[in-house]
Every structure is written in C-alpha cells, then in structure tokens.
Amino acid sequence: MKQQKLLLIVNPRAGKNKSLAPLLEAADTLSAAGYLLSVRCTKAGGDAAKIAAEEAAGYDVCVAVGGDGTLNEVVSGLVGMEHPPLLGYFPQGSTNDFAASLKIPNQPEAAVEAILRHEPRQLDVGFWNRRSFVYVASFGAFTRSSYSASQSAKNALGHFAYILEGMKDLDTLRPYRVKLTADGEVLDGEYLFGAVCNSTSIGGLMKLDPERVVLDDGKFEMLLIPNPKNASDLQNLVMALLEQRYDREGLVFRHVSSIRLETEEDLPWSLDGEYAPSMPAVEIVNRQRALTMLL
C-alpha cells in the first residue's frame, strides 16, 4: 500500500492553548500510523489559503489546524482544485462552530482519531459571490463582533470576547432594508439579522437542531430576524430566540439552495467570522458535496 502523504497547515496564533505539545503528540501518532507528514505554519491572513492552493494537490490529506477562519482559508484553497485531497480539521479556535456540528474534539490528540478512522464524508461548500465559506454567511446585528474581536481577546476570553464585542453594537442596532430571492421565494423587508448557514451553531451563541441540519444535502439553513413592528412582535421574537424555536411566528426559517440579496444599504457581512464588504447584490449558492472530509 502506497504511503499516504499528509499536509498540516497550522495557524500558531489560534486558540487559548499555546502549548504545542498536543499537536506534536498528534503528529507523532499520525507518523506512527504510516503517514508521511509535512507541516506549514501561517504567518498572516491569507497564508493558509495560499499554502493549500499551491501545495495541497501533492498530498492525500490536508489538515487545517486553527480556528474556523483557518478552516475557511484552507477550504478556499482546495475548492478550486479538480481533485482536492481529503480534508481534515484540528479545531484550535475560540468558538469552533463547525467542529461542534461535526462533533470533532478540540484536542488534536483526540481529533486525530478521525483521520485514522478514515471515514470520508462529503460536505457542501457555500459561495458568496465568488468567495467560499464553510458554515455561515451573516449580516446585521452582532455580525461585526465575529470579525472585530481581536485575536488576543478571543484567545483569552473565548465566547465571552464575542459577547463583549457584540455589546458595542447595541447602540447602533438597526434594521436593514433588503430584498431576498430564496429558491424563487421573494422576501422584501427590514431585517435585524440574517444568516445562511450549514452548521448547527452560529457564533457559538445560536443553536440549530442537529436533526434539521444535513451537511451534504445541497441546502443551507436560512434564518432571518425581521424588524419587530410592535411590542407583541418583539415579545414573539425574543421568546423564539431564547427557546431556539426558529419556526415560531416572528422569525423566518427556510432550507434553501440559492439566495440573491439586493440592498441599497451599507451592509457588511461575516463569512465564517471573517469580514466581507458590503455589496449591492450578493449571490449565495450551495456547491453540493464539493469536498470530502475525514470524520
């Protein structure tokens, strides 16, 4: 049997635990199992995508080591390949939303078991215009906090860093006028928040029922929070969010494969926690089973 080549793309700045010992132990386990390892460390934003795009084609497996942003970059480097390698993930970030959806442990020595089991699972990848995302594209309330919280704050405070950053947005909380066409359905109105996701967790705060999220069905879960028109609407909205019952009156929840959003507002986005600039029109599509991941 041909020796398998594995590329580890490591973001050394990600996460609260700076010790390299767990990662070295995981690497030793992979080597002992017969993998020929190469390690590349990122130094700046964009490095993971560049390394994946330029080097991963020569490997059987490419493993992202870092947070959701690192995974996003590695995926963006792989999806342009005709025959991308298998994808692995050692979550080392502060929220690790996508890893939670996939039940991948946060410790590398435990996550390495997914590689060794060699059970491939196909995954959908989203595209926001031409830019890829793994698990969520969002706009509106608290979106800014996902990419504005500093790396040092995320490392020190984890989820709390996002909450603190989000509190800064409370005084600017406002609705955005948008027109969405989702699989032919037109939704034209004012919304406080919108998310198109392929995950059971959004920002480490909002949870979706795992029974309703299928990661390779060619569909996103779309959640919109309309601007409440009166006290009754606001009460329904708050209760639905607190109870995580997204089908309740006051919220818009759909399973969709493509969305077109148009707006005249200044509407910045977050893609897997990374900033994306406002655009007058955004096309979001699901590329079904674009990558294969070891889980």
Q: Which of 53, 100, 102 is nearest to 74 (CA)?
A: 53
Query: Phi/psi at 262 (nearest 5 deg)?
Result: -125, 140
Half-sphere exposure of residue 113, counting CA atoms within 13 Å on the CB side?
8
Residue 109 CA: distances (Å) to CA of 89, 101, 104, 234, 269: 12, 19, 11, 46, 34
| 119 counts as catalytic | no
Task: Return d(Cα 270, Cα 112) in angstroms, integer.
Answer: 29
Q: Which of 141, 175, 142 is nearest to 161 (CA)?
A: 142
Assign 11 to helix, strand or coil.
coil
- 227-233: long-range contacts (C-beta < 8 A, 24 or more apart)? 227/175, 227/189, 227/190, 227/191, 227/192
Distance of CA 125 to the CA centre of its chain: 10
**DSSP H or E run through 241:** helix 231-242
Q: Give the tokens for residue 33.
A: 């199992």
Assign 228 to helix, strand or coil.
coil
- Of 25, 109, 262, 274, the active-site residue reads 274
Q: Catalytic amino acids?
A: 274
